[in-house]
Amino acid sequence: MNQKKSQQLFAKAQNFLPGGVNSPVRAFGAVGGTPPFIESAKGARVFDADNNEFIDFVASWGPMILGHAHPAIISAVQKTAENGMSFGAPTSLEIELASRVVNAVPSIEKVRFVNSGTEATMSAIRLARGFTGRTKILKFAGCYHGHSDLLLAQAGSGIATFGLPDTPGVPAGAVEETLTAPYNDLDAVKEVYEKFPGEIAAIILEPVAANMGVILPKDGFLQGLRRLSTQHGSLLIFDEVITGFRLGLGGAQAHFDVMPDLTCLGKIIGGGMPVGAYGGRAEIMGHIAPEGPVYQAGTLSGNPLAMAAGIAMLDELAKAGVYEQLDFLGEKLATGIGEAAEAAGIPVQQSRVASLLGMFFCESPVNDYAGAKNSNTARFGEFFHAMLENGIYLAPSQFEACFVSLAHTEEDIEAMIAAAKKVMQTL
């Protein structure tokens, strides 16, 4: 595969950008080599500076669930941009998108838009502390909730990829109120509550962990967290930045029928534009300024371009048959990858829910961060580069997810499976 231009661009970028990138995983540090510099994308394909074409299973880390450059979203953004790109003032588009979010997500009665998933989780934590009058937060090892100081304790995603400590630049005081437990371990959560009675403001987690690879909640885990948080007067926060509108219009909470007190959203609700949101019961959301005393603000929050893109996105996702098609394609891909690994005699653990997939090169089932870290990351790196050579664009880290979009055809899925069969035989 020719990468001459990408190599030149990467070398030039390192003169101006730390590591040559604006987000660490893009530098290919976990797999080695040069990242392709993408110039355009359409449907299920991305095209790089060297005119290489790839079938894309990264989907901009999830939000391109309709595929790239979807006509409805492009039209909405173009039309809105003609009237101005930012006002720092209310617009009717905010109301339109908010009403769609409230109507779709079961636990949300009111919502506040922000600019990223990091802002959403950071703000939800502040709100939980302000509402409960408590300071401690319980999170799970390997769950990533953005890069705010208080949540970079045993985080996944880039932290897992690069094996960074928890983490340079974050003072000990910033995380001293952040407690951690293993994902899928209710007994550990009970022990934390016993050790800190009446002190925990909230539990925050990804209902499906998708930043230490994809790890599904065990039966009863989410239900147990709901029960324990209620029993101890804590809030339950679902970080649905990845699962929101990915597992269905109602997100993971509707899929698993477990209602959190607060929900964090991002990615998909912006249709590819920078956006995030947090929402929940009106009683809790009423504590946010200007209605209440908990302060949070942002000049670009509710940006009209992001709102227009989000409206178009959610309207498309509300159409009949959308999630059935995504589930069909996701199941077809998971089955094919499993068969390819089995035929090659390669131990692979797979996880899937709807169109969100993960795989680990290891022999034992993966239920938590410790299990994820035992996977063969070197083998994943070999697999990743061989798939790239065969025209398949995957996330450049064992600890990320694979996303299927509505733009993928059955032929695209079959091409991915065929490439996997070929590559698995060489590992």
Backbone angles phi, psi at 199, to 5 degrees: -115, -15
CA distance 421 to 335: 12
Tens digit of pLDDT at every position of the chain (427 positions): 999 999 999 999 999 999 999 999 999 999 999 999 999 999 999 999 999 999 999 999 999 999 999 999 999 999 999 999 999 999 999 999 999 999 999 999 999 999 999 999 999 999 999 999 999 999 999 898 988 777 765 554 444 443 333 567 777 777 788 899 999 999 999 999 999 999 999 999 999 999 999 999 999 999 999 999 999 999 999 999 999 999 999 999 999 999 999 999 998 999 889 999 999 999 999 999 999 999 999 999 999 999 999 999 999 999 999 999 999 999 999 999 999 999 999 999 999 999 999 999 999 999 999 999 999 999 999 999 999 999 999 999 999 999 999 999 999 999 999 999 999 999 9
Pick from 250, 197, 261: nearest CA to 225 = 261
CA distance 383 to 401: 15
Active site residue 412: no
Pick from 218, 168, 201, 261: nearest CA to 371 = 218
Would you state the pLDDT for residue 175? 75
The residue type found at 418 is: A
Active site residue 295: no
CA distance 292 to 123: 14
Pick from 302, 297, 369, 293: nearest CA to 122 = 297
CATH 3.40.640.10 maps onto the chain at 71-317
CATH 3.90.1150.10 maps onto the chain at 4-69+320-424
Assign a CATH topology to domain 4-69+320-424. Answer: Aspartate Aminotransferase, domain 1 (3.90.1150)
Looking from the CA of 401 toward its CB, the CA atoms found within 13 Å total: 30
Would you state the pLDDT for residue 159? 41
CA distance 414 to 392: 11
Q: Label each residue of the chain as H, E or C.
A: CCCHHHHHHHHHHCCCCHHHCCCHHHHCCCCCCCCCCEEEEEECEEEECCCCEEEECCHHHCCCCCCECCHHHHHHHHHHHCCCCCCCCCCHHHHHHHHHHHHHCCCCCEEEEECCHHHHHHHHHHHHHHHHCCCEEEEECCCCCCCCHHHCCCCCCHHHHHCCCCCCCCCHHHHCCEEEECCCCHHHHHHHHHHCCCCEEEEEECCCECCCCCECCCCCHHHHHHHHHHHCCCEEEEECCCCCCCCCCCHHHHHHCCCCCEEEEEHHHHCCCCCEEEEECHHHHCCECCCCCECCCCCCCCCHHHHHHHHHHHHHHCCCCHHHHHHHHHHHHHHHHHHHHHHHCCCCEEEEECCEEEEECCCCCCCCHHHHHCCCHHHHHHHHHHHHHCCEECCCCCCCCEECCCCCCHHHHHHHHHHHHHHHCCC
* CATH code reported for the domain at 71-317: 3.40.640.10
Would you state the pLDDT for residue 111? 98
Q: Which of 136, 139, 267, 373 is catalytic?
A: 267
Contact 268, 63 (CB under 8 A): yes
Q: Which of 139, 144, 261, 368 is catalytic?
A: 144
CA distance 207 to 211: 11
Would you state the pLDDT for residue 215? 97
Active site residue 190: no
Has this prediction a pTM greater than 0.85?
yes
Q: Which of 48, 136, 183, 239 is catalytic?
A: 239
